[in-house]
Chains A and B, each alone.
Chain A
Amino acid sequence: MNARFSTRRVAKTAVVALQGEIDLQNSPELRKELLGWLAERQNVVVDLSGVDYIDSSGIASLVEAYQTARHQGGHFSLAAVSPAALRVLKLARLDEVFIIHQTIEQALKGTGD
Chain B
Amino acid sequence: MSLEFASTRDLQGTFQRGLKRVAAFIEAEAASLFLVDEETGDLVCQACVGPVDITGLRLAPGQGVVGRVVEQNVATIVKDARSDPYFGAHVDAKTGFSTRSILCAPLSVRGQRLGAIELINKTGDGLFHPGDRQLLRALGASAGLAVVNARLSKAMVEQERMARELELAAEIQRAMLPPLMPDDFPISGINHPAHEVSGDFFDFLKLPDGRIAFAIGDVSGKGFNASVLMTKTSSLFRCLAKSERRPGRLLSMINAELCETAANGGMFVTMAAGVLDPATGSVLLANAGHEPPLLHRDDSFTAFPATVPPLGINVDLVPPSMPETWIALAGGCLYLFTDGLTEARCQGKMLGDEGVRRLLAENAGLAIRDRLAAVVDWLAPPGSSPRDDLTLLVVEDRRGKPLLATRFEVTPDCLYELRHKVGAVVRAIGCNKDLVTDVVSAVDEACQNIIRHGYRGTGEIVLEIRRNGPRQLEVQLIDFAPPVDPAKIKPRCLDDVRPGGLGTHFMRTVMDEVVFMPPPMGAGNFLKMTKAIR
A interface list, Cβ under 8 A from B: 2, 21, 23-25, 53, 55-57, 59-61, 63-64, 66-67, 84, 87-88, 91-94, 97
Contacts and interface: CB of A to CB of B under 8 A. Distances in A.
B498 A53 contact: no
Contacts of B441: 53, 55, 88
The 5 closest A-B pairs by CB, nearest first: A60-B499, A56-B502, A56-B503, A25-B412, A24-B412
B499 A64 contact: yes
B146 to A, nearest CB: 95
B382 interface: no
Nearest to B415: A23
A23 B506 contact: no
21 contacts: A23-B412, A23-B416, A23-B419, A23-B444, A24-B412, A53-B419, A55-B445, A55-B503, A56-B503, A57-B503, A60-B499, A63-B498, A64-B499, A88-B441, A91-B506, A91-B509, A92-B494, A92-B505, A92-B506, A93-B494, A97-B497
Contacts of B43: none
Given A23-B415, A25-B415, A91 B510 contact: yes
Chain A interface helix/strand/loop/mixed: helix
Nearest to B411: A25
Given A66-B497, A92-B494, 11 more contacts: A2-B416, A24-B415, A53-B440, A56-B505, A59-B502, A63-B497, A63-B498, A87-B434, A87-B437, A91-B509, A91-B510
B437 A84 contact: yes
B502 A60 contact: yes
Chain B interface helix/strand/loop/mixed: helix
A92 B502 contact: yes
B451 interface: yes
B500 A25 contact: no
Interface of B: 412-413, 415-416, 419, 434, 437, 440-441, 444-445, 448, 451, 494, 497-500, 502-503, 505-506, 509-510
B413 A94 contact: no
Contact of A24 (B448, B499, B502, B510): B448
B497 to A, nearest CB: 6
B316 to A, nearest CB: 46
Contacts of A24: 412, 415, 448, 451
A55 B448 contact: yes
Contact of A25 (B416, B494, B502): B416
B416 A21 contact: yes
Contacts of A53: 419, 437, 440-441
Contacts of A94: 497
B499 A61 contact: yes
B506 A56 contact: yes
A78 to B, nearest CB: 14
A48 to B, nearest CB: 16
A88 B506 contact: yes
A87 to B, nearest CB: 7
A87 B433 CA distance: 12
A11 B310 CA distance: 77
A59 B499 CA distance: 8
Given A21-B419, A25-B415, A92-B494, A63 B445 contact: no
A2 B494 CA distance: 29
A60 B502 CA distance: 8
B432 to A, nearest CB: 13
A60 B444 CA distance: 15
A50 B349 CA distance: 64
A60 B440 CA distance: 18
A97 B495 CA distance: 10
Contacts of A23: 412, 415-416, 419, 444
Nearest to A2: B416
A50 B32 CA distance: 119
Nearest to A28: B412
A67 B497 contact: yes
Given A24-B415, A88-B506, A55 B444 contact: yes
B513 to A, nearest CB: 17
Contacts of B497: 63, 66-67, 94, 97
A84 B419 CA distance: 14
Nearest to B510: A91
A91 B203 CA distance: 51
B97 to A, nearest CB: 115
Contacts of A57: 448, 503
Among A53, A56, A63, find the residue whose CB has the most chain B CB atoms closer than 10 A. A56
Contacts of A66: 497
Nearest to B451: A24
Given A23-B444, A55-B445, A84-B437, A60 B415 contact: no
Contacts of B502: 56, 59-60, 92
Contacts of A61: 499
Contacts of A59: 502
